Amino acid sequence: MRNSLTAPSYYQATANRKISFPPLEGDLETDVAVVGAGYTGLSAALELAEAGYRVAVLEASHVGGGASGRNGGQICTGFSPGQARITAQLGASDARKCFDIAEEAKRLIELRIEKYKIETGLQWGYLHCAAKPSHLEGLRAGADELSGLGYVGCSMLSKAELEERLGSKLYHGAMREARAGHFHPLNYCLGLANAARKAGAAIYEDTRVLEIDTGSKPCVRTNKGKVTAKFLILAGNAYLGKTVSRLYGRVMPVTSFIVTTEPLGDNMARSLIRDNEAGADSNFILDYFRRTEDNRLLFGGAANYSTLEPSDIGAFMKRRMVKVFPQLKDVGISHTWGGYIAITSNRLPDCGALSPTTFYAHGYSGQGVALAGMYGKLMAEAIRGTSERFDLLSRIRHLPFPGGPIRTPMLVAAMLFYRLRDALS
Ligand SMILES: Cc1cc2nc3c(=O)[nH]c(=O)nc-3n(C[C@H](O)[C@H](O)[C@H](O)COP(=O)(O)OP(=O)(O)OC[C@H]3O[C@@H](n4cnc5c(N)ncnc54)[C@H](O)[C@@H]3O)c2cc1C
């Protein structure tokens, strides 16, 4: 296991709820077995438990131990590559329905925060910053696309207007969105787990699923027991690896790294991001940043497709951060960590059914904080007999990544291409 994937995060240090669950020991029969306790799995578990199903969630590490407890905390609008790819495949009317589902994903977060009283420090507002003058056109097109879909609250900021809000001279302007934002992702994940537990779902940590059977009586085997169910939900995302061979080639794990500074104080934090928006640049391999509730800067990026990581990730990320915010050059780094993002070949999430009893969703391609919970909810809907929306999203086609020895080198080469494009565009 690579260092950054297990390094303790700022989120673990500031989690507002300490809950733990026992490992599964022995055999169990239930209605729905869920593999993975991130947003996808917990959201499905919560919906199903509330609807009266017996649910068992099996988690290899701990709740939020995958991407859901270690991400940038940015709640984004729509799908990672925008609408055009969906429209090209499904047509304008169905693509519009997909966008509506993505909008509902953000409202679902708000609703659950309120209903289950989850403290996350949720803030709305997002700055998409132009890394190159030529990127402004793309940002404007993105704003027009959103406005065309009835989304209210996009505005373009000139370089001077951006510099009033953001303590950086690096960018050439920005697109500001009112209905995207940020929060403490692990606290949200723990809140979902707590709500699912209260609704009757059984959660097992330290319980890695080693084998699955997707037949008419699906079954999962762990090292200490087995669960037989009527339905199975696979929500292991990038961390599932080769456990399910039919899903292995459908996503690729990409590492992203994050650092937080020491607390900066109210004034310094405000001088960095005046209105406490989330921010990201417009590069393909993007940097993202935001303030934390205790006035640190959280800075992430540097997606990495190879199996190697920099020897000193903290120093590596600090150099990137100081390029954006040179005033932080003497500020200490408090936490450094990373996690796996699952990407698909077309950067659209991948979901479907491996059999009439087994559903999966993964590959949110860096934009799953909102979407993953919604895909989990839609799998629960499908199990409850209303699969229209899940079927719609399942119709999005993906080219699988190649397997075998060329898998990683091919992705590394693709990454080099995009790095070069970011540098030259
Ligand atoms: C560093 C980083 C930054 C990110 N930043 C953002 C962001 O700012 N905004 C955004 O929208 N998205 C972001 N993402 C992506 C987002 O976090 C994910 O899309 C989302 O959390 C996916 O949720 P999930 O439940 O599908 O998967 P995960 O949260 O990864 O959960 C999968 C779980 O399954 C478990 N598991 C896997 N295999 C097994 C097995 N065999 N048996 C039992 N359990 C298993 C894992 O341990 C893991 O806990 C980021 C991701 C990373 C890593």
Write down all domains in the chain, each with its CATH number in brackets: 3-409 (3.50.50.60)
Give Cα 158 distance to the centre of its chain.
Answer: 29
| pLDDT bracket for residue 305 (50, 70, 90) | low
Residue 61 DSSP code? S
What pLDDT shows up at residue 248?
Answer: 93
What pLDDT shows up at residue 141?
Answer: 96
Residue 132 Cα to ligand 1 middle (Å): 30
Match 């990581």 to its residue by tokens: 309
Report which secondary-structure segment, H or E, holds 136: helix 135-148
Instruction: Decide: 274 and 166 in contact? Cβ < 8 Å.
Output: yes
Residue 140 Cα to ligand 1 middle (Å): 30
SS3 of residue 259 by DSSP: strand
CA of 241, closest atom in ligand 1: 38
Q: If you compute the radius of gyration of the chain from its CA atoms, what whole number of angstroms results?
A: 21
What pLDDT shows up at residue 307?
Answer: 60
**Which two three-digit tokens encode residue 369?**
């904080």
SS3 of residue 409 by DSSP: helix
Residues 148-195 have pLDDT tens digits of 999 999 999 999 999 999 999 999 999 999 999 999 999 999 999 999
Instruction: Please indicate whether residue 367, judged by its CB atom, sits closer than 6 Å to ligand 1.
Output: yes
Residue 167 Cα to ligand 1 middle (Å): 31
Other beta carbons within 10 Å of 361: 28
In this prediction the pTM is 0.95
- The length of the chain in residues reads 425
**Which two three-digit tokens encode residue 36?**
């993975």
Residue 303 DSSP code? E
Instruction: Decide: 70 and 61 in contact? Cβ < 8 Å.
Output: no
Match 């169905």 to its residue by tokens: 94
Give Cα 339 distance to the centre of its chain.
Answer: 10
Instruction: Please indicate whether residue 344, judged by its CB atom, sits closer than 6 Å to ligand 1.
Output: no
What pLDDT shows up at residue 203?
Answer: 98
What pLDDT shows up at residue 40?
Answer: 98
**pLDDT of residue 1 exceeding 50:** no
Residues 258-282 have pLDDT tens digits of 999 999 999 999 999 999 999 999 9
